[in-house]
Each structure stands twice: as C-alpha cells, then as structure tokens.
Amino acid sequence: MKNLSTTLFIILIGLCLTHTVSSEKCIQYSNPLNQRENRVFDCLMASPSQKRQLPTPPTSDNMFNVQFNCLVDDKVLCGKVENVFVTAGKFITATLNLKSEISVNATFLNFCEVSIAPGIDCNNPYKVILGAAGPAMVIPYKDVSADKVRLYPQALYKQMGLPTHPQFATNEIMAVFNSAANYWFEGDPLPMLERQADMLLVVTHELVHGLGFTTAWDDQFAIGALTPVVATLTDDDSPKAPGPIPKEPGIPVDSFQFFELIFDSFLILTEDGTQMTTQTDELNKFQINLQEIKSEAQLIEAFKASPQFKVAQNLFIKATTNGSMGFKTTSGDVVTLETDLHPFQPSSSIGHVDFATYKSSADFLMVFRSPSATLGQMMGMANSIDTYGPIGPLLREVLQSIGYEIKGQYVPPVDLPSSKIPIPNKEPFSIQPDDANENGKNNNKMTNNGKINSSSNIINVLIALAYILFNFFL
C-alpha cells in the first residue's frame, strides 16, 4: 500500500496560492501526457532585474518561441516539424494580441519507444496519440470580482502584465508529439491520405490547449465522480493557501480543497444555466482531517460517504450526457463542450468543444478528434480562410473570456495551398472509431486476450485509452 503522502500527491494535479508571498506554491509539469508528473515548489518572487523581462515587440508576426527537441534520426522530418511551429505561431499571433512572448518546449518523439505514456497500443495504426500539450506551469491568482483563487496557465498570467509576480518557469507551454503517427505537411507533393494527420492542425490545436483551453474537472479518484483538482490547505498560511500534502508528520493540514483553472470559471450546466463553480463551492463543503486519514482508500471512502459525493456523481453523469455542459463566454454565447464520449474520457471529455456541433464549422479546431483533412481544407470547408483562420469565432470568444485580447482585424499570415483542395465527399471525419477496432466496445474481448485481468479500475483505464487513442488529440 502506498503511504499517505505519496497517495495524496498523486491525486494532486494542481495547486497554488492566493498572493505572491514566499509560501505560495506553484506547480510545474514535466509530461503533458501525465499531469501527475509534476513538481510543486514555492513560487519564488521575481527579483527587480528579472522583472525587466521585455516582451517581444508586439509588431512581431510570431510571438511563439519554440524550443524544439527532435528525438528521431530523420533530419528532414525534424525540419518539417519545426517549421510547422512557426506557421502555427503565426496563425495564433495573427489572432491574439499577445503582449508577452510565449515559450514552448516541444518534443517530437516516438511514444512507443519511450515510457512517456504507458498503456499505448502501438500495433493498431488507427489508435494513435498524435500529441499532447498543456501549461508548463500554473500559477494561483485571486480573481477579485469572484473572490476566488483560480489557477492560471503561465502563458495567460504573463499577458496580464502584473507589477509583481512569481518567477516564471522557462516555458509557458509543454508539448509532445508522436513521431510514430503518420503526418502530412503543407507542401508535401501528394495530397493528404485519409489516415494521415496534418501536423499544422495538430500543433495549432495543442498550442491552444497550452494557452489555457483546459479544464481541471476530471474523475480525480476514478470512482465515477467529477471534481476539480485537489489541493490541501495548510493552516500556517494567512490567508489559507493551497499547498502540497506535507510529507513530514505533524505539519498541520486542516483540509483540502478543490481548485478550478480559470477556464472552469465560465463553465455552466446547460440544462438550467447553473455555473459549475457553484458546484465547486458545494464540493468544497467536504472537509476531512487529513491527519486521520491513513490510506487512499480511506480518503475515497470518506468522500463517498459525504453528501458531496452525490454532487460529484451527478456531475459525472452530465459529463457523459450530450450537450449538458457549456462554456458561457463573456459575450453571453454558450459553447457546447464535449460530453458525448462513453465512457468518460479523461483529457478528451469536457476539455474540447462538442464534436457533432462544431466539426463542420469554423470552430472545428478544438474537437477531440483529428480530421482526415488538412487545416487549410478545414478552413476552406468552413469559409473561414480570410475571416477567422484556424481560430473560429466562438473559440476566439473563449480565449477572450479567459483573458486574451483578440486582434480587431484578422489578416491571414500564411497562404495554405491545400485550402484550395476540396475535402472528398465533404466528410473530414469519415473514419469512425468502431472501424478501427471491431472489438472497440467489447470489454470482455479485451479481458479475454490477457491484456487485463484483475482490477476493474485498471480495466476501465485501459478501455478508456483504447477508445481515445483512436485518431484523437489530448
């Protein structure tokens, strides 16, 4: 059995504090495919000299600075991938009025040859993780109007230009892309094949996640209960501030709390318009003395026995009920989120726009699946080449709501020749997940082939992976 500190650290995927004081905690991620690989540390205050970090001149047509690590031998391929980041950066820079450079740590590597993402099925060409990205660091910030501390991706936090701030991590965004996937690149002599993925579309999608299109809501305990991320509250800070579970006994910890990312403050239940942050408030009525908790199982049992468990269960049901959750923008528009994946898919559910609603619209970019069409073709289909580019009108509203400034006029920064090639049959998502695996929904088949055989939790996890690995983004 794991010891308590280890166990609780595992469920702690995000945390930090209210004000920029020395005891504040920041969290840095090292693996976009696994948010649990993180480092929690005191948010060090920037020294006066460090505060003089001058942003890249806003006249730049690319505010992204990519530190690219290519771990494959094919130098031509490495060069093509690196160029894609430049193009993606230009598209986003043409859309957002970025005031501070955004540094990206991107790695191109074969997911099947490293242990970066355990459980990946490398033998099925239909089930390929293309890439994953997220904020390299999140920083706590108190939204004064809401009187609530929320976690801000560093990329967004930097845009606020606050006079004082914690020392920033080297990168704002961390991304990995799977070299085992079959990519198509703009400029390739042959048209994109149905089972290829346009690297430019994939990279642009992932960078938008890194900017802050990401949710803290998840089935954190794998018990069919939806909550935001968990952090502890220690009573030696004033005001009380979230921090890691102390590893030394005797350090006072009086409670833990669920924390939202800034994205989550705009989420609603579409049925009646309830703000999901009110559900977070309800969940935070769950309090327990962590000093008395001896095991992960005990913690989970305590939560399951609480009145708040029902709240989390109901939210979990909604997370798999089509059309039940939305992002209400500051303009009042509601963007329907992906809640039609069965079973619930961590990283895919909620954290994307609804596939059926937006797959053929100008807001196609943030659906959970990669289309069998190029970014240019998708924009051509949506008639958005000269109006919105890859970032459609509703996605712009989402990014504006969380704090980015949208440029008043969009000028396409790059001409994509593939945009002039129609999508065959106008169907960019012709491959269906069930085509990829005739047993895709047959749990027993998977059990019988010896890959999984004991814990029901393990079964659920592996089946989830088997499904979402089909032609998808994280």
- Least Å distance, CB 472 to Zn ion, is 8
Q: Which residue is nearest to Zn ion (CB)?
A: 473
- CA 29 to the chain's CA centroid: 12
Residue window 375-414: x/- pattern of binding to Zn ion, with contact defined by CB under 5 A: ----------------------------------------
Determine the Cα–Cα distance for residues 325 and 215; give it in Å rounded to an integer: 12
**Closer CB to Zn ion, 429 or 473, in the complex:** 473
**Closer CB to Zn ion, 8 or 129, in the complex:** 129
**Closer CB to Zn ion, 103 or 370, in the complex:** 370
- Least Å distance, CB 209 to Zn ion, is 5
User: Is residue 473 at the binding interface for Zn ion, with CB under 5 A as the rule?
Assistant: yes
Nearest residue to 259 (alpha-carbon basis) of 447, 8, 4, 14: 14
Binding segment for Zn ion (CB under 5 A), chosen from 86-94, 97-105, 255-263, 465-473, is 465-473
**Closer CB to Zn ion, 210 or 389, in the complex:** 210
DSSP labels, 339-393: ---SS--TTTSSSSB-HHHHTTSTTGGGSSB--SS-HHHHHHHTT-TTTTTTS-H
- Bridge-based pairing state of the strands 64-70 and 102-109: parallel
- Least Å distance, CB 210 to Zn ion, is 10
**Closer CB to Zn ion, 244 or 351, in the complex:** 351
Binding segment for Zn ion (CB under 5 A), chosen from 25-33, 140-148, 440-448, 466-474, is 466-474
**Closer CB to Zn ion, 85 or 473, in the complex:** 473
How many chain residues touch Zn ion (CB under 5 A)? Answer: 1
Determine the Cα–Cα distance for residues 225 and 41; give it in Å rounded to an integer: 28
Angle at CA of residue 339, ends 136 and 272, nearest 5° = 110
If you count DSSP H runs as helices and E runs as strands, how many of each does the chain have, helices first? 14, 17
- Least Å distance, CB 338 to Zn ion, is 9
Determine the Cα–Cα distance for residues 4 and 365; give it in Å rounded to an integer: 41
Residues 12/245, Cβ–Cβ less than 8 Å: yes
- Least Å distance, CB 417 to Zn ion, is 26
- Least Å distance, CB 366 to Zn ion, is 7
- Least Å distance, CB 213 to Zn ion, is 8
Distances in Å between the Cα of 25 and the Cα atoms of 20, 142, 228 are 9, 14, 18
**Closer CB to Zn ion, 213 or 266, in the complex:** 213
**155: three-class secondary structure by DSSP:** helix
Give residues in contact with Zn ion (CB under 5 A): 473
